[in-house]
Amino acid sequence: MNVLHDNAVDGGVVIVGAGQAGGRAAETLRSEGFEGRVTLIGEEVERPYERPSLSKEMLLDTSVETIAWLHAPEFYAEQDIALKLGVSATAIDRNARSISLSDGSRLEYGVLLLATGARVRMLDVPGAAEHCHYVRSLEDSRALRAKLVAGKRVVVIGAGFIGLEVAAAATTRGCDVTVIEATDAPLGRVAPPLLRDYYRVLHSSHGVALRFDAQVVGMASDGDAVVVTTNTGETWPADIVVAGIGVIPNAELAQAAGLGCDRGILVDAFGATGDPRVLAAGDVARHHNPLLDRAILLESWQNAQNQAIALARNIASKGDAVPYSEIPWFWSDQYGINLQIYGLLEDDGEFAVRGDPTSDHWLMAQIRDGRIVFAAGINAARDLRPLRELMKLGAVVTRGDIEDQAIAMPELLRRARAPRSVA
């Protein structure tokens, strides 16, 4: 018995948010044979697309738009997915099981999936509203890339992944780039010191000026340019100012409807809120991850895709629901250097490093109580991949296992999977 499935068949599925998560959910409902009504509502005017290329490939090449559309425009009608774009949901009425839209209409649901994503945190200092660019939407990316002309001075505020990727793209385009970061190193608390150092060196070796421990307090026009001021009393002239200072989950709709929220919509491993008819997936969903055994919010491509697929499968299926349970995976591409990360950095544990961490090919793992909890690799996707399986298995490894280059990573996995011999 699957109540979720029955509710969906009876009342239809309404998906709020036509981004990657919403798009994948709609697609999966149909590919899994769901025949009930499916409506996909999106605030942006574009049909579903994935965001990672917006801060990478899109900014690098003006001759071609590298937009990762989920599907061709005809797909939605062909799949009988009602696509309503350029309209937002303004309220959820859980008693009436309906949502109100910004065009004045109301839509009833049997099951509601909230995939409202996140919006950029905006810099709240004088001049920012007028001068600061952000990179979140296709429109943002198109606007920025037109301006990244060789010789232009670009000031990037925030040395998180978005800031660094923009800095890399702008530098590659021939811009003169400065990155201003409030903390003492790039990548905040998501990366260990070794990785933060690697990125500091990577950017400075490409000519990017890095200013740490400085907070932007304002920006103002100076002729055609903009002058950015920090709390250190320094001023930074720029032709273009871009900020990448994080995102805020769009949980307001859920919160107003009385659903539990805490920096995101709170859901269990099945994506369910406290209301069994309302699910959430993607950047907005703070979900319980059974492998990590805690609630996490993942702003990643993998989560947007795979969580949405898992939830949609559960809706489409007449059988028992399957929990969404994956090791988080994330990547970043800067200056042609590929970083991949598995898991989430913990506060404690020892680090194992394989290869030379100042080179362009190495990996590291954080081991806690004998188990890998976090792994990262620079241009090491193939070697890193078995570590994902080791993490999923909860396999016990030693620092030496990772560091000894005589032991191949697939070999480590084979050993972990081998049945124990009976002594």
Q: Which stretch binds another protein (CB under 8 A): 98-106, 206-214, 297-305, 348-356?
A: 297-305
Show the tokens assigned to 404: 């000894």
Asked whether the beta carbons of 377 and 343 are under 8 A apart, the reply is no
Cα→Cα distances 127→177, 219, 412, Å: 20, 5, 54
Show the tokens assigned to 376: 């990262």
Q: Which stretch binds another protein (CB under 8 A): 40-48, 121-129, 301-309, 390-398?
A: 301-309
Asked whether the beta carbons of 99 and 93 are under 8 A apart, the reply is yes
Among 94, 206, 371, 385, binds another protein (CB under 8 A): 385
**Angstrom distance (rounded) from CA 285 to CA 271:** 8
Q: What's the closest the beta carbon of residue 1 comes to another protein, in angstroms?
A: 28
Q: What's the closest the beta carbon of residue 305 comes to another protein, in angstroms?
A: 6
Provide CB contacts within 8 A for 215, sequence distance 6+: 182, 230, 231
Show the tokens assigned to 194: 């070794």
Q: What is the largest CA-CA distance in the chain?
A: 80
Q: 118 - beta bridge partners?
A: 249
Q: Which CB sits closer to another protein, 71 or 211?
A: 71
Among 118, 179, 309, 352, binds another protein (CB under 8 A): 309
Q: Which stretch binds another protein (CB under 8 A): 81-89, 131-139, 243-251, 299-307?
A: 299-307
Q: Which stretch binds another protein (CB under 8 A): 156-164, 212-220, 251-259, 380-388?
A: 380-388
DSSP classification of residue 144? H
Q: Give the rounded distance of the alpha carbon of 400 from its chain centre.
A: 32
SS3 string, 96-127, reads CCEEEECCCCEEECCEEEECCCEEECCCCCCC
**Angstrom distance (rounded) from CA 214 to CA 182:** 5
Among 7, 12, 24, 287, binds another protein (CB under 8 A): 24
The verdict on 178 binding another protein (CB under 8 A) reads no
The verdict on 324 binding another protein (CB under 8 A) reads no
Q: What's the closest the beta carbon of residue 302 comes to another protein, in angstroms?
A: 7
For residues 246 to 285, the per-residue mask of contacts with another protein, x marking binding by CB under 8 A and - elsewhere, is ----------------------------------------
Q: What's the closest the beta carbon of residue 110 comes to another protein, in angstroms?
A: 25
Q: Which of residues 26-55 bind another protein (CB under 8 A)?
A: 28
Q: What's the closest the beta carbon of residue 301 comes to another protein, in angstroms?
A: 7
For residues 401 to 420, the per-residue mask of contacts with another protein, x marking binding by CB under 8 A and - elsewhere, is ---------x----------
Show the tokens assigned to 219: 């920006």
The verdict on 301 binding another protein (CB under 8 A) reads yes
Q: Which of residues 182-241 bind another protein (CB under 8 A)?
A: none
DSSP 212-231: -S--EEEEEEETTEEEEEET
The residues of the shown chain that bind another protein, judged by CB under 8 A, are 24, 28, 70, 301-302, 305-306, 309, 329, 381-382, 385-386, 410
